[in-house]
Amino acid sequence: MSSMRTISRRSLLATAASLPILAATAEGASISGTVPWSPFAGDPPKPVNPMGWYYFTAGEAATVEAIVDRLIPGDHLSPGGKDCGCAVYIDRQLAGTFGKAERLYTKGPFAVGLSTQGYQGDLTPAGRYRLGLSALGDYVRGHYKKDFVQLSPAQQDEVLGGLDTGKIVLKLKPGFSTKEFFELVLQNTMEGFFADPLYGGNRNMASWKMIGFPGARYDYRDHIDKHNVPYPRGPVSIYSQEG
C-alpha cells in the first residue's frame, strides 16, 4: 500500500510540474496561432557592404590582401584568403566595435602580463594594425627595397615566417611585440575564412564547402551520426543563402 501511495504521489507531482509549461505553450499558440518565435526578431547582425575599404588605406589594404593570400594560399581545395574576402572581413572588424576596443577596458595602469593574457597596452586593435603595417612596410622597404606586395611569394613567406618565429623584430610600441602583431593578423585571417559570409569573409561559403560544414541550417540531426560521410546538402549562411 505504501508503495502504491509513493507511485501515485510521484505521478501527481510530475503532472503538476508540467502544467505551467503546458499552459504557457497553449497561451502562446492561442495568441499568435504559431510557435512564439520568428527569425531575426531580436537584433540580428547586418551584412557588410563588400565594396571599398572602411578602415584600411589603399596601401594597407593591398598589403593585408597579400598577407592573407600567403597565410591561406589558394589551391584545389579552396580559393586563397584574398579571394575569400579575409581582408574585407578584417577591414570591417577594425572599422567597428572590435577595432575600437569598445568592449574592452583599455585604461591604465598597464603592467606586463602573462603570455596567455594577450596584449595589455592602450592601443586598440585598429591602432595595432596601423602601427604594425607601418612598421612592416618600413622593414620590407629597408631590406628588399620594395613594398610587401611587390615581393615574390617565397620572399613574402620568408618575412611572415620571420615575424612568427621572432627572427624579424619590427619597430613597434613598447608592450606590443612583433609576435603579437603576427598572431593578431593570423587570428583575424582565420576568423574571416571561417566566419559567416555576412561579415565579409568566407566568400561563397568556400571554407564551409571545403570542410563539409552545413552552416546555419536549422536542423541536420539526421546526419549527425553519419561519421565520415559528407553532408549531402550545401551550407547555408545566417541569411539562408544556399551554397
- Provide the CB-side half-sphere exposure for 203 (13 A, CA): 17
How many percent of the chain have pLDDT more than 70?
Answer: 81
Question: What's the confidence (pLDDT) of residue 41?
Answer: 59
Taking alpha carbons only, the member of 45, 52, 55, 46 closest to residue 95 is 55
Please determine, for residue 19, whether its predicted confidence score (pLDDT) is greater than 60: no
Each residue's pLDDT tens digit, 25-80: 334 444 445 555 565 556 677 788 888 999 999 999 999 999 999 999 999 999 99
CA distance linking residue 74 with residue 243, whole number of Å:
19
DSSP-derived letter for residue 204 is G
Longest dimension (CA), the chain: 95
Q: Using 50, 70 and 90 to split pLDDT, how confident is the model at 4?
A: very low
The pLDDT score that the predictor gives to residue 232 is 84
Average pLDDT on 142-151 reads: 97
| Residue 17 reports pLDDT greater than 60 | no
Torsion sign across C-alpha atoms 77, 80, 85, 88: positive
Distance between CA atoms of residues 180 and 175, nearest Å: 10
Q: Which range has highest mean pLDDT (78-92, 107-121, 211-225)?
A: 78-92
**What pLDDT is attached to residue 160?**
98
Confidence at residue 104, expressed as pLDDT on a 0 to 100 scale: 76
pLDDT of residue 43: 67
Task: Tell me how many degrees the CA angle 215-216-218 measures, rounded to the nearest 5.
Answer: 125
Closest residue by Cα to residue 74 from 86, 57, 91: 86
> What's the grid cell of residue 225?
551520426
What is the structure's pLDDT at 22? Answer: 38
Banded model confidence at residue 118, pLDDT cuts 50, 70, 90: confident
Interval 150-167 mean pLDDT: 97
pLDDT given for residue 158 in this prediction: 98
* pLDDT computed for residue 238 by the predictor: 87
